[in-house]
Structure 1
Amino acid sequence: MFLPTLVSLFFISSATVRASPCVAFDANWNLLAFNLNGKDWNAGTQDTWSSSQFLVIMRTRGLTFCLCRHCSHRHHNIQPTVSNFRHPYITLTFFLHRPFDAANTTCYLSQYANAIYAINADSKNPSSLYIYNAAAKSWSMQAVNAGSFDYTSFDAILDHDTNVFYALSQGNLFSLDMGSLNAANSTPLSWTNDEQVPYPSDYVPVMALAQNHIHFLDVPNVPAGSADIFVIHYSYFQPQSQAYPLPDGSAFPTTYGQVASFFQADNTVQQEFAFIPADSSATYVVNVETNTTQALAAPATKDSKATYFAGVTALVQLTSNGTVSYLPYLEGNTSTNIAATWATVSNLAAAAPPSSSSSSSSSGSSGNTSGSHSTTSPSTTASGAALGASVQYSVFITCVLCFAAFAV
């Protein structure tokens, strides 16, 4: 009677919420998918994406327990240990994962630190920032003082060289200095309100990073194909916008969309970023060294709620139904890039099939999951918190039953 009860309660405690997955590269260009079908996956480097090789499961959602004489989180890539119940014959160890239960999680690569930073990953601790140490394969939670920063409405970039977040929220430019962190420390960090931006209060930010400059797209009164520029190292808004024309003289449109900066294999600053309009009509790649733009293949799946992450040689799309695709890209090779087409990351599709619901939607996205702009509704947060309480109750009941069983 005990074993079925314990197993059933374990699965209840592992129930999932409608949370946002995100994708990111580590500094060795392994494609990582967090919370995709409730698990974390390492899809490997680009040369393995079309294979059917077995993927590494880095985490399963919910609470995991280990029934053994000597349990160790090192064998499970799970941290931290929450509690232990010891018995002369057996040890019951519980491992609690970081929740990843919020509706608008955004992920960023710190290339120097080989760490992934996740914002809005925890509905019960919305101001906390989670850090994935890619080398150690471990998570930690960093306390952050939000101040006047609004986690329900923002867009952000992580500057490559300074490892500082810059975010536009409620008409103000904020910064968050991550130092060289690849794991949380005991001292809370703080968002700093640096200055008011010179844009209307209804501007929905679209922020791209290249050459340690923030490029603001879809700014009112700025021509198509141009961007306003904030120079990070001098905390300075350039007075004139910068044009990035296509070879035929046309321009990318003035519209809301998603962006992703291409990294460099030698760990130097980004020089290019991709811009995908919300209607998924094309993929534009802007080079800030040559002040030019390439128009490449439109995403195969048109989804205004899709999010994007770029590595060195690929731009990855994550749709709202969990489909992960990529566009191969070679910096400086225009003819190859123009001929490139989007393809599915096959090993992820086999391991974590997309949901059956349609991912297509009209333009005018209300937010994204792994880019930057975030809009979290109170109802979503409340449901996550309610489930968290339910999970904790189920865990408590499970522990009580375990104690009763092992104590006799």
Structure 2
Amino acid sequence: MLPLLTLAALYIAPRAVRATPCVAMDINWNLYAFGLNGKDWSAGTQDSWGSGTATDVTASGRPPFDGTNTTCYLAQFSNAIYVIDGDKSNPSDIHIFDAGAKSWSTQKTNAGSFDPASATFILDHDTNVFYAVLNGELWDLDMGALVTANSSALNWNDVEATPYGADYKPTMALAQNHIHFIGVPGATTGDLDIFVIHFSFFQPDAQAYPSSSGSTVLPAQHGKTSSFFQAAGVQQEFAYIPDDGSATYVVNVESNTTQTVAGPSSKDASAFYFAGLTALVQVDSAGAVSYLPYNQNDTAANAAAKWTSVANLASAAPASSAAASGTGTAKATGTGSASSASGTGSSSSSGSSSNSSSSGSSSDASAAAAVSARGVMATGLAGAFVLALAAIAV
């Protein structure tokens, strides 16, 4: 027998909704972690990451951070953090965090055939223009100097076809207002293709980025990237982490060389990375945040550096639950455990258990429970009460 209140509770009970957290820094290099335990946190500057507890900066108007391709970017001139695909219900929205005011606004866009949930992005430093690649096409969107959203939708524009075809899964990195493409079809290992933003063209020849000794070190694998900021001026280096997490490669486009430093402790192809002035930060898909110290002028220190947990974020939002955000509605199913109405579920009334008020067989009770469960999904809460009464009568 399945009591009425039990079935109703199963239908309306909250469940965790999986979040897609991301990290970013403001122009004072305070680290923010968005979407951990359904909240947003400030870990402060790097000297405070090792102890204490991060500050809750959750504010109204924030996105739910439940997209499939959520990414965060710093507009250095504006001290604004832009969030792409932070809301799976409205993937074309760009959410803007004003880092000075600690407030949110939502910028509408006209995406047309462009799908932000499936594209790969960079935000150009000087122009504040997003560039994205999707199915072999290069797109752009101009953010102007936005710190808060305006009332007019911004347009995603189809710029041109890339030379790489629709099958290339892009790995893109920004440095010196150039987009660097890793692992393009037919490329020589260690060489990167380049799109020159200010002249809007693809360079005809690839550029090699060997180690300082001249050996080829860059693999041609898909991965994630993030550009190291300067206190002023454009980025000159970017970090590239292959999906296997075997190493971190730092490419310097001034010297055309590559350093090889420690790979992240969490080998997670779905992790997100953000580089500031002196650290590369990773948030993995479980919500664990760690960082690799980096000195743009000391290769020996970089070679010895190790990944370390951002302790004050771990204290505020433990990784075991950090990627669970918000609440939802648990739906009853025909089989399952604590969240399902089932004749075999571990916390629901079982058809095989005895009950002094049951007048039917155990198989009848199980069948009635299963029908009730399916009815909950089909008819909603009102139907749940009717179907529960039917189950009690069996």
Q: Structure 1 residues 232, 50: CA separation in 2 closer, same or farther (over 3 Å shift)?
A: same
| 1:74-153 mapped onto 2 (5 Å cutoff) | 77-79=59-61, 97-153=62-118
- TM-score, length basis structure 1: 0.74
* Residue matched to 1:24: 24
Task: Answer yes or no: is the 8 Å Cα contact 1:314–1:329 preserved in 2.
Answer: yes
- Structure 2: stretches of 5+ with no match in the other structure: 1-8, 332-379, 382-394
C-alpha distance after superposition, 1:245-279 (max 9, x if no partner): 0134132111111100000112x100000001111
- Structure 1: stretches of 5+ with no match in the other structure: 1-8, 60-76, 80-96, 360-382, 387-392, 395-408
Following the alignment from structure 1 to structure 2, what is the Cα–Cα distance between the partners of residues 15 and 40? 20
1:298 is aligned, of 241, 259, 263, to 263
* Residue matched to 1:251: 217
* Residue matched to 1:201: 166
* Residue matched to 1:48: 48
* Residue matched to 2:194: 229
1:220 partnered with 2:185: yes
* Residue matched to 1:39: 39
Following the alignment from structure 2 to structure 1, what is the Cα–Cα distance between the partners of residues 271 and 310? 15
Alpha-carbon offset, residue 55 of structure 1 = 2.1
C-alpha distance after superposition, 1:57-94 (max 9, x if no partner): 111xxxxxxxxxxxxxxxxx435xxxxxxxxxxxxxxx
Q: Name which one, 1 or 2, has greater alpha-carbon Rg.
A: 2
Q: Structure 1 residues 193, 30: CA separation in 2 closer, same or farther (over 3 Å shift)?
A: same
Alpha-carbon offset, residue 16 of structure 1 = 4.4
RMSD: 2.3
Following the alignment from structure 1 to structure 2, what is the Cα–Cα distance between the partners of residues 173 and 187? 23
Alpha-carbon offset, residue 351 of structure 1 = 0.8
Following the alignment from structure 2 to structure 1, what is the Cα–Cα distance between the partners of residues 211 and 252? 11
Percent identity of the aligned residues?
58
| 1:6-405 mapped onto 2 (5 Å cutoff) | 16-52=16-52, 54-59=53-58, 77-79=59-61, 97-248=62-213, 249-266=215-232, 268-355=233-320
Following the alignment from structure 1 to structure 2, what is the Cα–Cα distance between the partners of residues 99 and 250? 42
- TM-score, length basis structure 2: 0.77
Aligned AA (1:144): T
Aligned length: 318
3-state SS of 1:355 partner = helix
Following the alignment from structure 2 to structure 1, what is the Cα–Cα distance between the partners of residues 83 and 321? 27
Task: Answer yes or no: is the 8 Å Cα contact 1:297–1:341 preserved in 2.
Answer: yes
Alpha-carbon offset, residue 242 of structure 1 = 0.2
Aligned AA (2:54): L
Aligned AA (1:298): G
C-alpha distance after superposition, 1:202-238 (max 9, x if no partner): 1000000000000000111111111100000000100
C-alpha distance after superposition, 1:71-127 (max 9, x if no partner): xxxxxx435xxxxxxxxxxxxxxxxx4333323211111111101111111122121
Aligned AA (1:264): Q
